[in-house]
Amino acid sequence: MSYVGPDFDPQPPRRPRRRPLTVALVALVPGALLGWGAYAAFGGSDDGGGSSDKAAVGTPTASARSTDPERPSETPTEPTTSPSESTAPSPSGPLAGKVVVIDPGHNPGNFQHTAEINRKVDIGTAMKECDTTGTATNSGYREADFTLDVAHRMRTLLEKQGATVELTHDGDRSYGPCIDERARIGNKAEADAVVSLHADGAGSGNRGFHVILPGAVNSGAADTRPIVAPSKNLGERIAGAFVRVTGSAPSNYVGDGTGLVTRKDLGGLNLSTAPKVFIECGNMRDSKDAAQLTSEAWRQKAAQGISEGIAGFLEK
């Protein structure tokens, strides 16, 4: 994936949070990921999140479309409402009072706005492009369509548990938002957790998911030091739940088999004042991963796994 965003506003004072997860719970992910080392068949990220083989800005795949004609017709395993429908948060759910911001990486219209998304924005440590087009499967299923679909499914699941859910975009704008604006949306919402959704564009044979955590940055408008520890907690819980629900293995090409990667070059993380992670749900350029990413049933599992990880973090 590739991720980038515009003007950073200082964050208003945040409401107090509960104390970080105890050391005992931090052991959750290593246990959840145990045994995947043998999954040798499985195989990073720009501010879209991912690896170097992202689709070139302004040059979408010729066959790019929102559905993949090569996948069989499937029935989603969960939503009782349409994935794109938002339901009122349950006032008595376990996540009542919690705010979650979901950031669907990229935008299907980015390729039509190359000048706008190539504009540089300040991410604290450097100047970076506003956004990118993202990647796509070899048959044309776009990352931007994937991320928006999973975001809708997550919103339904989290609202049923009482959370207030906000998306950084909902297919309601022609391009973007830029990476700095995406961070600002989570900050202004005073989110309890923010997750940026992506799928990678690495070489064939590279498989599996990875969660990107913010490194400690203190430069210009960026100061991630207060969110490093809670973001790691959030990322570990998401990784553990993602393995359990989807059956996917951690990446075989980054993260040393842990499914966790720390980075300091992503504006969406650098400019966040709320606990935030990115997740690369798989590699669109690998045929086996692509078969999962284009499956409605698997996307529902992905949404459930990420949502369960968020819920575990918020309920601590």
* pTM of the shown model: 0.78
pLDDT (0 to 100) of residue 59 = 38
pLDDT (0 to 100) of residue 46 = 56
pLDDT (0 to 100) of residue 225 = 98
Residues with a known catalytic role: 280
CATH code of the domain occupying 23-55+79-314: 3.40.630.40
pLDDT (0 to 100) of residue 48 = 66
> Distance between CA 313 and CA 52 in Å, rounded?
31
Task: Per-residue pLDDT tens, the chain, 316 aa: give them.
Answer: 433 233 223 333 444 444 443 333 334 444 444 434 333 333 344 576 665 444 433 334 333 333 333 333 333 344 444 555 677 888 889 999 999 999 999 999 999 999 999 999 999 999 999 999 999 999 999 999 999 999 999 999 999 999 999 999 998 999 999 999 999 999 999 999 999 999 999 999 999 999 999 999 999 999 999 999 999 999 999 999 999 999 999 999 999 999 999 999 999 999 999 999 999 999 999 999 999 999 999 999 999 999 999 999 999 7
Instruction: Render the burial of 264-302: b for 16+ CB within 10 Å, e for the rest.
Output: bebbbbbbbbbbbbbbbbbbbbbeebbbbbbbbebbbbb
> Distance between CA 283 and CA 210 in Å, rounded?
10
Q: Where are the domains of the chain?
A: 23-55+79-314
For the record, the structure tokens of 99 come out as 């705010």
